[in-house]
Amino acid sequence: MTSLALKDHIQKHISPTTGEQEIVSSFFESFHAQKKQNLLEEGQVCKQHFFVEKGILRMFYVNEKE
């Protein structure tokens, strides 16, 4: 189930039908991260997209070529 904030964000850009909203909602799940919690550890590959409803999410890249 998607959050109201995500639904509002989507509706700012497009006007999905109720059926389309249900399809989109089926691809998302709610997740609550604690402060300073790592979502991934070094070496893991991120296979998800995140929608931040409240707070900040930092992202880092590790360049193994240097």
7-61 pLDDT per residue, tens: 898 899 999 998 998 898 888 888 889 999 999 988 898 898 888 888 888 888 8
Q: What is the pLDDT at residue 1? A: 47
Instruction: Give pLDDT, residue 19.
Output: 92
- Say if residues 42 and 62 touch (Cβ distance below 8 Å): yes
Residue 15: its pLDDT value, please? 94
Predicted TM-score (pTM) of this structure:
0.63
Please check whether residue 28 is in contact with residue 52, taking contact to mean a CB–CB distance below 8 angstroms.
Answer: no
Structural domain of 31: 1-66
Give the C-alpha separation, 6 to 52, whole Å.
Answer: 9
Higher pLDDT, 53 or 2: 53
Q: Please give the Cα distance from 9 to 56 (Å, whole number).
A: 17
Domain count within the chain: 1
- Given this model, what pLDDT does residue 66 score? 64
- The structure tokens listed for 26 are 């089926």
